[in-house]
Amino acid sequence: MYISDLHHAEDVMSTAFVKVFKNLKTYQHKGSFEGWVRRIMVTTAIDFLRQQKRLEFATDNFDQYEEVEIPSLTE
């Protein structure tokens, strides 16, 4: 399983099946049809995960840092 969220997994699967049907004419009957479909499914899932990774925002947990008093420059 590549995608743990059920809704995202369903979206990726639907997208992959659309790719399969759009590219059915390019299947060259070399190797198994199942392997060809699986490759499209896996590639689509990996593309989704890469896209999600790009959209993540780096957050910092400021609770882990000590508070330090910054001296005033006017003293």
Torsion angle of C-alpha atoms 5, 6, 7, 13, degrees rounded to 10? 110
pLDDT at 64: 62
Q: Chunked in runs of 10, what are the mean pLDDT values of the chain (75 residues)?
A: 87 96 93 94 93 68 65 68
Per the CB < 8 A criterion, the answer to whether 2 and 26 are in contact is no
pLDDT at 20: 96
pTM for this entry = 0.67
Q: What is the pLDDT of residues 54-68, one digit of tens each?
A: 765 556 666 666 666
Q: How far is CA 5 from each of CA 22, 32, 69, rounded to the nearest angstrom?
A: 26, 29, 44
